């Protein structure tokens, strides 16, 4: 007799079939009904014990979160909402869980409380559903690109560069932090460090992915990235995962088309393949709405807005046009925003939310940003002021994707690096790509947790990654 996972059993188990199921107790009612969950699905299996023929001592150990193994026979269920149940013949406690000590109760806990119990929170319906979606989305990313003939390229975690130039890198060093070796001028002597130079955790795999694009044509990286930005928001992590495709011979239009197609594919994949988790999260999101003030509520339910995104094309406008819309946003005009709107500002979340949630009411792609607020590698437009950047903004999330057509001209890139004080000694290899067979190319980065947030409807990014890293928090 083989062990069967609950997902498979609920889908295809037939009355009379004898099986072994292992999992954790969710609830135990009336000394008779054990709800078992093994993580394979959001649904519990109802196991029915004949308590008169079971030792009392054993039944007392059937407590919330105890690990158990049951042998039983599948039977049709009289219970509501379940096709089958299991009549228990043998029950074994694999691991006790002391009710006085176990922190999670079968009631609703706050997300804050669950975060403090990151090691136990995947035993809740909400968090386990989110983690399954996370898996589904990651799988769908690989499927999307593989089906298109892209190659998955592993880019390094430890690098010597700061691709985004924001100065938010985490140092990687083996030098003694208290007494590092010094040079004659009294500076830290990185020549003695492990790699013989200053290194940091990567903020983006893009620059290395460009090496892939300029040889393999179409590649993507999907890995962890790290930013020491002190942003304590519901959308920032210090360690997050990023999906970064990079394509030779793509201009900005091609880049936007790919990004839009990919996001729609990912959402569709989850809707089609994870209906039970989505149904649960849809109800959860609807409940959450009730506790919000009217004007902060979504106009649509979770699944409804996912379908809306899939079914409608994203709005595409230039940065200059976006500024015009914001400047003319009546009735409050300029007072409407904390940061006054003028050409050249970096759009804040208040501006982005206005454009996406109030004005267009759908995802928006903004292109051709001022070069001074964007990274050094973006292709310069002929106006001398803007670059071929694109950001994709989503309702409730803000920026979900950032990308660009890359500067392919050696001299323009070299000049821009000089203007921005980026040493050529650090990125000589990157410049080389413009020296040997340069070509138009483009790419973008999708913040993985942000798409998980959008699809799951979770309000805080800390609840869509198993072990969130945020300022002053790396407990688990
Ligand atoms: O806009 P960003 O900084 O772009 C890049 O890193 C480019 N090198 C990408 C590329 O062209 N290959 O980051 C890309 C995306 C953002 O749009 C956002 O979704 C996510 O990464 N992101 C974060 N997600 C969570 N926490 C943070 N601190 C994030 N910073 C960026
Ligand atoms: Mg960005």
Judged by its nearest atom, the ligand closest to the C-alpha of residue 203 is 1
> Does residue 294 carry a pLDDT above 80?
yes
Cβ-Cβ contacts under 8 Å for 341 (sequence gap 6 or more)? 323, 326, 327, 334, 351
Alpha-carbon span 447 to 103, nearest angstrom: 32
| H/E segment holding residue 72 | strand 67-76
Residue 402 alpha carbon to ligand 1 centre in Å: 6
The residue whose CA has the least distance to atom 23 of ligand 1 is 447
Residue 179 alpha carbon to ligand 2 centre in Å: 37
Q: Give the model confidence (pLDDT) of 10-44 as tens digits.
A: 999 999 999 999 999 999 999 999 999 999 999 99
Q: Are 155 and 445 in contact (CB under 8 A)?
A: no
| pLDDT at residue 369, rounded to an integer | 98
The DSSP secondary-structure symbol of 460 reads -
6-102 CATH fold = OB fold (Dihydrolipoamide Acetyltransferase, E2P) (2.40.50)
Q: How many CB atoms lie within 10 A of CB 237?
A: 23
Q: Give the model confidence (pLDDT) of 205-217 as tens digits.
A: 999 999 999 999 9
Which strand ranges, in their side-by-side order, compose the sheet holding 151-152?
Answer: 151-152, 218-226, 239-248, 441-447, 398-405, 389-394, 364-367, 315-318
Judged by its nearest atom, the ligand closest to the C-alpha of residue 378 is 1
The residue whose CA has the least distance to atom 29 of ligand 1 is 236
Rg (CA), the chain: 27
Atom from ligand 1 closest to the CA of residue 443: 11
Cβ–ligand 1 distance for 221 under 6 Å, the answer no
Cβ–ligand 1 distance for 237 under 6 Å, the answer yes
| pLDDT at residue 203, rounded to an integer | 97
The residue whose CA has the least distance to atom 25 of ligand 1 is 236
The DSSP secondary-structure symbol of 439 reads -
> Does residue 331 carry a pLDDT above 80?
no
Residue 399 alpha carbon to ligand 2 centre in Å: 7
Beta strand extents in 290-440 (DSSP E only): 315-318, 364-367, 389-394, 398-405
| pLDDT at residue 222, rounded to an integer | 98
Cβ–ligand 1 distance for 236 under 6 Å, the answer yes
Sorting pLDDT into bands at 50, 70 and 90, what band is 296? confident
Q: CA torsion, points 197, 202, 205, 211, in degrees to nearest 10?
A: 0
Strands 315-318 and 364-367: parallel
Taking 3-state DSSP, the helix, strand and coil percentages for the chain, each rounded to the nearest 5, stand at 35, 25, 40
Domain boundaries, given as residue ranges, for the chain: 6-102, 123-168+203-463
Q: Which of 202, 242, 266, 378 to mutate to test the pocket of ligand 1 (most atoms within 8 A of CB)?
A: 242
| pLDDT at residue 333, rounded to an integer | 55
Q: Are 315 and 362 in contact (CB under 8 A)?
A: yes
Q: Give the model confidence (pLDDT) of 104-125 as tens digits.
A: 987 889 999 999 999 999 999 9
Sorting pLDDT into bands at 50, 70 and 90, what band is 226? very high
- Structure ipTM: 0.99
How far, in Å, are 23, 46, 288 from residue 37 at the CA level? 5, 9, 24
Residue 446 alpha carbon to ligand 2 centre in Å: 10
Cβ–ligand 1 distance for 444 under 6 Å, the answer yes
Q: Give the model confidence (pLDDT) of 332-391 as tens digits.
A: 555 679 999 999 999 999 999 999 999 999 999 999 999 999 999 999 999 999 999 999
Residue located via tokens 């198993």? 466
Residue 28 alpha carbon to ligand 1 centre in Å: 45
* Alpha helix segments (H runs only) across 23-124: 56-59, 111-115
Q: Which of 450, 463, 465 to mutate to test the pocket of ligand 1 (most atoms within 8 A of CB)?
A: 450
Residue 402 alpha carbon to ligand 2 centre in Å: 5
Read off the pLDDT of each residue in 433-452 and give the average, rounded to a whole number: 98
Q: Give the model confidence (pLDDT) of 255-292 as tens digits.
A: 999 999 999 999 999 999 999 999 999 999 999 999 99
Q: How many CB atoms lie within 10 A of CB 90?
A: 10
Judged by its nearest atom, the ligand closest to the C-alpha of residue 226 is 1
Cβ–ligand 1 distance for 206 under 6 Å, the answer yes
Residue 321 alpha carbon to ligand 1 centre in Å: 23
Of the candidates 289, 312, 310, 313, which has an alpha carbon nearest to the alpha carbon of residue 301? Answer: 289
Q: Are 442 and 410 in contact (CB under 8 A)?
A: no
Judged by its nearest atom, the ligand closest to the C-alpha of residue 450 is 1
Atom from ligand 1 closest to the CA of residue 391: 17
> Does residue 295 carry a pLDDT above 90?
no
Query: Which of the listed CATH numbers 3.40.309.10, 1.10.10.10, 3.40.190.80, 3.30.930.10 matches domain 123-168+203-463?
Result: 3.30.930.10
| pLDDT at residue 417, rounded to an integer | 97
Average pLDDT of the chain, as a whole number: 96
Atom from ligand 1 closest to the CA of residue 404: 11
Alpha-carbon span 110 to 288, nearest angstrom: 12
Q: Are 92 and 73 in contact (CB under 8 A)?
A: no
The residue whose CA has the least distance to atom 9 of ligand 1 is 445
Residue located via tokens 């013949």? 89
Residues comprising the chain, all counted:
476
Q: Give the model confidence (pLDDT) of 149-201 as tens digits.
A: 999 999 999 999 898 988 899 999 999 999 999 999 999 999 999 999 999 99
Cβ–ligand 1 distance for 462 under 6 Å, the answer no
Cβ–ligand 1 distance for 223 under 6 Å, the answer no
The residue whose CA has the least distance to atom 17 of ligand 1 is 401
């Amino acid at each position: 007799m083989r062990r069967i996972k609950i997902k498979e059993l609920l889908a295809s188990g037939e009355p009379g079939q004898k099986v072994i199921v292992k999992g954790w107790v969710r609830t135990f009612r009336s000394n008779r009904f054990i709800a078992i969950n093994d993580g394979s699905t959001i649904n519990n299996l109802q196991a029915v014990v004949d308590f008169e023929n079971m030792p009392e001592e054993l039944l007392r150990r059937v407590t919330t979160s105890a690990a158990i193994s049951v042998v039983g026979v599948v039977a049709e269920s009289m219970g509501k909402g379940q096709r089958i149940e299991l009549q228990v013949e043998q029950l074994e406690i694999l691991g006790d869980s002391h009710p006085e000590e176990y922190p999670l109760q079968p009631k609703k806990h706050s997300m804050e409380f669950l975060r403090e119990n990151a090691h136990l929170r995947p035993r809740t319906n909400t968090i386990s559903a989110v983690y399954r979606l996370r898996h589904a989305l990651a799988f769908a990313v690989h499927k999307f690109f593989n089906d298109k003939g892209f190659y998955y390229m592993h880019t390094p975690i430890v690098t010597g560069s700061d691709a985004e130039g924001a100065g938010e890198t985490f140092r990687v060093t083996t030098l003694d932090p208290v007494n590092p070796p010094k040079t004659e001028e009294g500076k830290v002597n990185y020549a003695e460090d492990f790699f013989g130079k200053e290194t940091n955790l990567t903020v983006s795999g893009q620059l290395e992915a460009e090496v892939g694009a300029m040889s393999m044509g179409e590649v993507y990286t999907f890995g962890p990235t790290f930013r020491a930005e002190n942003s304590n928001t519901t959308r920032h992590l210090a360690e997050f995962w990023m999906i970064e495709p990079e394509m030779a011979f793509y201009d900005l239009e091609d880049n936007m088309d790919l990004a839009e197609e990919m996001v729609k594919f990912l959402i569709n994949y989850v809707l089609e393949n994870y209906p039970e988790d989505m149904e649960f999260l849809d109800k959860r999101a609807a409940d959450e709405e009730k506790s919000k003030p009217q004007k902060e509520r979504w106009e649509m339910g979770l699944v409804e807005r996912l379908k809306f995104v899939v079914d409608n094309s994203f709005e595409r406008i230039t940065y200059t046009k976006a500024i015009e819309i914001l400047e003319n946003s009546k009735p409050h005009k300029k007072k409407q925003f904390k940061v006054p709107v003028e050409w050249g500002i970096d759009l804040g979340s208040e501006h982005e939310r206005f454009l996406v949630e109030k004005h267009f009411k759908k995802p928006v792609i903004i292109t051709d940003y001022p070069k001074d607020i964007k990274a050094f590698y973006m292709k310069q437009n002929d106006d001398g002021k803007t670059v071929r950047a694109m950001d994709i903004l989503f309702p409730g999330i803000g920026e979900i994707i950032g990308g660009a057509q890359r500067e392919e001209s050696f001299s323009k890139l070299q000049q821009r690096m000089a203007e921005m004080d980026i040493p050529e000694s650090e990125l000589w290899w990157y410049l080389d790509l413009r020296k040997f067979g340069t070509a138009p190319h483009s790419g973008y980065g999708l913040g993985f947790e942000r798409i998980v947030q959008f699809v799951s409807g979770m309000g805080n990014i800390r609840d869509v990654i198993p072990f969130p890293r945020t300022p002053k928090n790396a407990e688990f």
